Structure formats: structure tokens, C-alpha cells
Homo-oligomer: A and B are copies of this chain.
Amino acid sequence: MASQRMADEGLPVIARFEVHRRNYLKSDGSIARPVPAFASDANLLLSLYRAMVLLRHFDRKAVALQHTGRLGTYAVSLGQEAVSVGIASAMREEDVLLPSYRDNGALLWRGVKLEEILLFWGGDERGNQFSGPVHDFPFCVPVGSQAPHAAGVAYAFKLRREPRVAVCMFGDGATSKGDVYEAMNFAGVHKLPVVFVATNNQWAISVPLRLQTGSETLAQKAIAAGFTGEQVDGNDVVAMSAAAEAAVAAARDGKGPRFIEAVTYRLGDHTTSDDASRYRSADEVQMHWKEDPIGRLRTFFVDKRMWSKADEEQLAADCHERIEAATERYLAMAPRQPETMFDHLYADLPEAYAAQRHELAGEGDA
């Protein structure tokens, strides 16, 4: 618990702040406190579970494709599945997601196809032209730089009196970026309908959280922007979904922005280009496997006799089938023609560059 500082000299206190922590489902599958209403809907819980399992299978396939040269650098969600799935589960179609490169789970939940995600990580811009909600943003690679976009999107909602919410996701590392702070601060001024989600997986590539910030929690960063930050057990999909529900509802109701710190752990390498054993011990990783969001929900289901071994096998088979079919569609997709690199540069290609397009098409010689 963070201590209260500077109580010296008996100076009067003019402002007080607290950070709360939300969790329901403990790592052993037992219940920590009364669960929110929606959690009694078994179908919903099962669909969250299925989405997490699909994501985990998909990640495994993607890594295999990368290892065999059929995909580019890829970032798995291993151990963090509850975060992106839980957040997306609280959003409406008309809301806007502004994801980071590791938020595949949220995109999938919102209708982006597996092959579209592969296409993007396979190095083809058409992956961003996806079947998800048309206003959703593509994966953001420059860390944190989508946060101001989220504020801009939310401002548009507010200006037009639309009951929509922008949801911006990024990592613990991103909370060190000034653009994230600037966006949060602006959202605080105008009480914008936006939810900021920091997936605190303890690492930014090799940089541990303690070198990322001196603050005791990430949730408290919202205090600087004048709104509420909450810490959530990011391995508890019930808590993630509940926290997202609360935040999205508040934002939609005009109560302003919220910040969610989802505490989790990156069980895998940072990306396929990374070797995490260079900077952290196998023991540390092993220890965090106990927190696995999928395992704990399965235990909960099994304890409640909602889920059998056969169900699990069926699910695995379904996932496998979907993923294989999507992979085939992905691999079958021919690359774009080189000259199409000019086709969406401007709405209308200026004459100045038409010759270059022509050259590239091999039809001429600029």
C-alpha cells in the first residue's frame, strides 16, 4: 500500500485520492467477492472463455507461421488473454477501439477475421482494411501514439451528442509516453467518453516496471488528469469485463473518462524477435503460470460442473479448424501489385506521382 507522503509540519490536506483494486475470480478458480450480475450468465462466461482459448491457439499458430517464414514479427498475448477479451466484451459495435499491436483478442471479439490479422502481421496493409467495425483503428505500433486519436474520436462523439465510447489500449511501457498523458489530460478537461486501458504485463520488452515508473500503481496516473483510475486483476476475465462495463457505461453516461490498469503478466517472449530468457528467469515466468486466466476460469467451470473434458476437446478442435481454414485463406492470398502502394496515398493520386506509379507498374519508365 502506498504511503501518504509529506504529512510533515502539520500542513492542511487539500485533496485526497484512493486507488481501488477489482478482482472476483481468484487464481485457484474460487470467488473472492460477490460477482457482478452479468457473471451469472453462463453463456456469456463461456463465450469469454472460448474467445480466450481461440486467441491462445491462434497465437500458437501465428508463431509457427513466423518460425517457418510465412509471417512477420508477431506478438503473442500468452497469459494476457483476459485483458483484451474482457475489454472488448463490454463494448458496443458503434464504439471505437484503438488497440496496440498486442490486442488481437479485442479485434477478434469485434469481428475482425483471423486471416485479416494474419495478413497484417504477414506484412500486407490490407489486413487493416478489416471486417471489424468500420471506425475501429488499426493496431498501433508507435507505442502510445494512438492515445491522442482516442481523445479526438471521443471529442467527435461528444460534439455530435452520440452515445458512443472510445476505448484505447496500450501497455505499461506506454504509460511513460507524453502523448498518453496529454491525451488523458485533455479527456479530463472535457469529460470525454473515452476509456484508457493499460495492460500492465510487468515488462516493456526487457524493461521491468520498476524502471518504467516510480509510481506504486499505474492506476494512479489518472489522478494527474483529474479522473478515476482503477486497478484490476487482469488475469480475471470477470473482473476485466466488469471493470470495462463500469467504465464504458460511465463514459457513455457523460461521466467522463476512466483509466483501467489491468495487472497481468506476459508469459511469452515480447515478440517472435525477442528472447525473454536474456532478461528474466524461467522461475519468474513459471510462478506467473499459476495466475493463468484461462486455467482459472476452466477450474471455475469445472468446479461448477459447467464444463467437461469433452467440451474442452471439442473447443480445441473447433479452434483448430477455424484457424487452419483461416491460415489457408491467408496463404492463398496473392500479394498486391507493387504499384498499388500508391493507390491509397491520397484520395486522388497527384499528377506528380502518377509517373512513379507507372514506372512501378513496369508499364513505363519515369
Shortest CB-to-CB span from A244 to chain B, Å, is: 14
Please report the C-alpha to C-alpha distance between residue A318 and residue B57 in the assembled complex, in whole angstroms.
81
A166 to chain B, nearest CB (A): 17
Residues of B close to A227: CB separation below 8 A: 5, 214
List the B residue with the shortest CB-CB distance to A256: B214
- In angstroms, Cα B181 to Cα A154, docked, is 23
Within 8 A of B (CB), among A192-232: 210-217, 219-228, 230-231
A236 vs chain B, min Cβ distance (A): 13
| Chain A: interface residue total (CB-CB under 8 A) | 58
Number of this chain's copies in the complex: 2
A 174-185 to B, binary, CB cutoff 8 A, 1 in contact else 0: 001111111001
A14 with B6: CB separation less than 8 A = no
Q: Are B226 and A224 in contact (CB under 8 A)?
A: no
* A347 CB-CB contact with B under 8 Å: no
Q: How far is the CA of A222 from the CA of B17 in the complex (A)?
A: 13
Residue interface bits A323-361, CB-to-B below 8 A is 1, else 0: 000000000000000000000000000000000000000
Q: Are A220 and B223 in contact (CB under 8 A)?
A: yes
A304 CB to nearest chain B CB (Å): 23
Q: Is A16 interfacial (CB-CB < 8 Å)?
A: yes
Q: Which of A1-18 contact B (CB under 8 A)?
A: 1-2, 4-18
B220 and A221 contacting across the interface, CB-CB below 8 Å = no
Chain A residues touching B, majority SS: mixed
Across the interface, name the chain B residue whose C-beta is closest to A144: B178
User: Is A21's CB within 8 Å of the partner chain B?
Assistant: yes
Are A18 and B22 touching (Cβ within 8 A)? no
Between A22, A176, A187, A224, the greatest number of chain B beta carbons within 10 A of the residue's beta carbon is seen for A224
Are B177 and A189 within 8 A (Cβ)?
no
Instruction: Provide the bound-state CA to CA distance between A221 and B182, in Å.
Output: 12
CA distance A17 to B220 in the complex (A): 9
A188 in contact (CB, < 8 A): yes
A191 within 8 A of B: yes
Check B220–A215 contact: CB distance below 8 A: no
Contact between B217 and A189 (Cβ–Cβ < 8 Å)? Answer: no
Report whether B19 and A2 are in contact in the complex, using a CB–CB cutoff of 8 Å: no
**Alpha-carbon gap, A335 to B15, bound state (A):** 52
Contact of A2 among B2, B17, B187 (CB under 8 A): B17
A1 and B16 contact, CB distance less than 8 A: yes
A112-138 Cβ-contact flags toward B at 8 Å (1 or 0):
000000000000000000000000000
B33, B178, B220, B228: the one within 8 Å of A15 (CB): B220
A309 interface contact, C-beta 8 A? no
Tell whether A20 is near chain B: CB-to-CB under 8 Å. Answer: yes
Are B214 and A225 closer than 8 Å at their CB atoms?
A: yes
Contacts of A17 in B (CB 8 A): 2, 4-5, 16-18, 220, 223
Cβ contacts under 8 Å, A185 to chain B: 176, 213-215
Q: Cβ of A19: which chain B residues have Cβ within 8 Å of it? A: 13-16
Q: Residues of B contacting A5 with CB < 8 Å? A: 17-18, 227-228
**A interface residues, Cβ below 8 angstroms from B:** 1-2, 4-22, 33, 176-182, 185-191, 210-217, 219-228, 230-231, 246, 256
Known interface pairs A10-B33, A176-B185, A224-B224; 12 further A-B residue pairs with C-beta atoms within 8 A, sorted by A's residue number? A2-B14, A4-B18, A6-B20, A14-B217, A15-B19, A17-B17, A17-B223, A178-B180, A181-B182, A189-B211, A189-B214, A222-B224
Q: 9 smallest A-B Cβ distances: which pairs?
A: A178-B178, A188-B214, A214-B226, A224-B224, A215-B226, A2-B15, A11-B20, A181-B181, A15-B19
